[in-house]
Amino acid sequence: MKIILCVLLAVVLALPVRVSGQKDTAFLHEEVWDTGFDKNLDSLMQLWYVRYAVTPDSLKLPVVPENDIIIPEYPDSVYIERLSRIPTLIPLTYNNIVRNYIHVYTKKRRDQLEVMLGLADYYFPVFEEIFDYYGLPTELKYLAVIESALNPRAVSRVGATGMWQFMFGTARAYGLTINSLVDERRDPVKSTHAAAKYLSDLYDIYKDWTLVIAAYNCGPGNVNKAIRRSGRKKSYWDLYYFLPRETRGYVPAYIAATYAMNYYDEHNLSPRSISLPLAADTIMINDNLHLKQVSEVLQVPLDLLRDMNPQYRKDIIPGKSRSFAIKIPVNHTLDFISLQDSIFAYKDSIYFNPANTIINPTRSRYVPQAPTGRTKLYYAVKSGDTPGHISEWYHVGLSDLRYWNGIRNMIRVGQKLVVYVPPSKAEKYRKINFMTFAEKQRSIGKSVKTKDNIIVQNVPLNQDYIYYKVRYGDSIWKIARKFPGVTQSEILQLNKLSSSDKIHPGQRLKIKKKS
């Protein structure tokens, strides 16, 4: 579904297992960091509630008097022992790949991890309640860390959106609404319900949580391919080199995120205080509502409302279509209820202008001016005519023909159209109104296919021949019967055929017209 840390993985796979005291320099170079995940972390820092909470001073790391940054580092045995103490149904395997991901969170991206720790206080209780409802391991909540860095507005380079990085088709399959105004992939609650259902379906397939996590990333199709190619093995680490490259780093990244979110304190990290209110109320909306109406009447920062309701792409809640929820700080709930009528009425003519609801088109009284130096002719529309045909027959521009006659869409049979032509050619063009469709097409060098597979070719108008395109199953006798007065011998003679010659589908036969 998503690409996580693929560039980083290429480097860490080549690293030997770290021995105690060995200095880890794998992440000193920027190019080893996956740009997609890096983008999620950086966009996380641009959210209003993060910018409001994080100031330049708050980003400074703890320092010793000599201004050296304190970043603890531990031997492998410590990581192994700590992972074993985390209560989980999901195996937390340790190796050098996992260790290097741990260092990404605890050394390279310390600022962002502290922000995610602060956001965890807001989002993790929601995730845990939903996963518990579906009977899933609550520790699956850490998937959102590597999926989106807990950023509800995260969008991958392939269009996966939201905390759980749903693609459009999967989101719709699991009941999420996506349209121009609403994208429920960005709704933390509804998208988590969808993620729980998807994870439950994957577990029904594999009965192994590590494979479920891998399939969440690359899809069950790729995991099934890896199982077949490995000789029907079912362990993630046995399938490791048969999986897509980005998925090889996905499970280790999950294990590292689980470690970092549980043992941040041992790495001198602490949660940032995030301004999203932990206490919030959800109110159902049954009419169209703009977030600015709520913001200005209740005096709630608009950006806060946007961050609490990231699913509304244009700040509009389309409640007239069906009920939608708005989340507001709990201390504003009673104000919203008591001022509800005022909120919906506030500047409603600006945000939802009733004048745009019913608008009837008005007829233009403008009369196009006749071009100077041209003769005015009239053409009566016949069945099968189009403005394009007529403009070609009279050698005038299609836009000019539409302009002269006020044509917006279709023309109707019997309608009289004005055409302006050069005076020197007026007599020639006057005859067009009395020609057959085939004759008009022939006059501009085009052939015509009629209902009996007859092709009128580009021949002089005084020739009395038509051309017939042979169909499957035709014979000379059958063709002659289509044209009253025409005999088989005439067709054979006119086309220089003998009675023994065979005709074939697609062949064109010359037929003399009979009066």
The pLDDT of 260-273, averaged and rounded, is 93
* DSSP code for 206: H
Q: Kindly tell me the sign of the dihedral angle through the C-alpha atoms of 480, 483, 485, 490.
A: negative
User: Are 384 and 498 found together in one domain?
Assistant: no
Q: What is the pLDDT of residue 16?
A: 29
Is the model's pTM score more than 0.85? no
Mean pLDDT score of the chain: 82
Whether the predicted pLDDT of 22 surpasses 50: no
Where among 328, 356, 384 does a domain terminate?
356
Q: In 3D, which of 67, 37, 282 has the Cα closest to residue 144?
A: 37
What pLDDT was estimated at residue 19?
28
Buried/exposed code over 185-203 (b: 16+ C-beta within 10 A; e: otherwise): bbbbbbbbbbbbebbeebb
* In-domain check, residue 345: yes
Return the minimum-mean-pLDDT range out of 18-32, 310-324, 378-392, 397-411.
Answer: 18-32
Rg (alpha carbons) of the chain, rounded to whole number? 37
Task: Say if 452 falls within a structural domain.
Answer: yes
What was the pLDDT predicted at 488? 87
pLDDT at 36 over 60: no
Residue 514 sits in a domain whose CATH number is 3.10.350.10
Query: Which of 91-95, 373-377, 396-400, 469-473 is predicted most confidently?
Result: 91-95
| Tens of pLDDT, residues 414-459 | 899 999 999 999 999 999 988 888 888 888 887 666 555 555 444 4
**Residue 180, pLDDT above cutoff 80:** yes
Check whether residue 332 and residue 470 sit in a common domain: no
| 49-58, 91-100, 255-264, 407-416, range with the lowest pLDDT | 49-58
- Long-range pairs, 240-245, Cβ under 8 A, ≥24: 243/214, 243/218, 244/218, 245/6, 245/9, 245/10
Q: Which of 222, 237, 267 is the last residue before a domain boundary?
A: 267
Q: Please determine, for residue 365, whether its predicted confidence score (pLDDT) is greater than 70.
A: no
Instruction: Count other Cβ atoms within 10 Å, centred on residue 5.
Output: 25
Is residue 441, in this structure, part of any structural domain at all?
no
Do residues 236 and 328 share a domain? Answer: no
Residue 376 forms beta bridges with which residues?
Answer: 420
Residues 239 and 121 in one domain: yes
pLDDT at 27 exceeding the cut of 50: no
pLDDT computed for residue 463 by the predictor: 58
Q: Tell me, yes or no, whether 118 and 193 share the same domain.
A: yes
pLDDT at 216 over 70: yes
Give percent of the chain with pLDDT exceeding 90. Answer: 52
For residue 305, tell me if it sits in a domain. Answer: yes
Element (H, E) at 456: strand 454-456
Amino acid 188: pLDDT: 94
Is the model's pLDDT at 14 over the cut of 70? no
CA angle 228, 168, 320 (to 5 degrees): 150
* pLDDT reading at 388 higher than 70: yes
Cα separation, 469 vs 483, in Å, equals 13
Question: Among residues 271, 414, 289, which one has the least CA distance to residue 345?
Answer: 289
CA angle in degrees (0–180, nearest 5) for 386-387-391: 120
Strand, helix or coil for residue 69: strand
Q: Is 168 in the same domain as 227? A: yes
CA 380, 386, 392, 396 dihedral sign is positive
**Are 310 and 241 found together in one domain?**
no
- Is 144 a residue whose pLDDT tops 50? yes
The per-residue pLDDT for range 311-358, each reduced to its tens digit, is 999 999 999 989 999 999 999 999 999 999 999 999 888 888 766 666
Mean pLDDT for the stretch of residues 280-297: 94
Residues contacting residue 207 through CB under 8 Å, at least 6 positions apart: none
| Cα–Cα distance for residue pair 125/188, rounded to 1 Å | 11
- Answer yes or no: do 423 and 308 share one domain: no
Distance CA 511, CA 515 (A): 13
Query: What does the alpha-carbon distance between residue 460 and residue 454 come to, in Å, rounded to a whole number?
Result: 17
| pLDDT: which is higher, 136 or 54 | 136
Among 50-64, 289-303, 460-474, 493-507, the range scoring the smallest mean pLDDT is 50-64
Residue 28 domain flag: no
- Statement to judge: residues 461 and 507 lie in one domain: yes
Supply the pLDDT for residue 7: 31
59-87 pLDDT, tens digit per residue, is: 333 433 434 567 888 999 999 999 999 99
Token couple for 445: 């060098």
Q: What percent of the chain has pLDDT over 70?
A: 80
Whether residues 325 and 297 fall in one domain: yes
Burial class (CB in 10 A: 0-12, 13-18, 19+), 209: buried
159-167: Cβ within 8 A, 24+ apart: 160/1, 160/2, 161/185, 161/186, 162/186, 162/187, 162/191, 163/123, 163/188, 163/191, 163/192, 164/191, 164/192, 164/194, 164/195, 165/1, 165/2, 166/1, 166/191, 166/194, 166/195, 167/1
Specify the pLDDT at position 467: 80
Per the domain annotation, does 206 fall within a domain? yes
The residue among 325, 356, 387 that closes a domain is: 356
Number of domains in the chain: 4
90 is a domain residue: yes
Give the pLDDT mean for 189-212.
96
Minimum mean pLDDT range among 113-122, 269-278, 322-331, 353-362: 353-362
Q: Which residue has the higher pLDDT, 56 or 79?
A: 79
509 and 473 in a common domain: yes
The boundaries of the domain holding residue 512 are: 447-515
Q: Is residue 298 part of a domain?
A: yes
For residues 134 and 249, state if they share a domain. Answer: yes
Using CA atoms, how far residue 503 sits from 53, 97, 470, 493, in Å, is: 85, 74, 8, 14
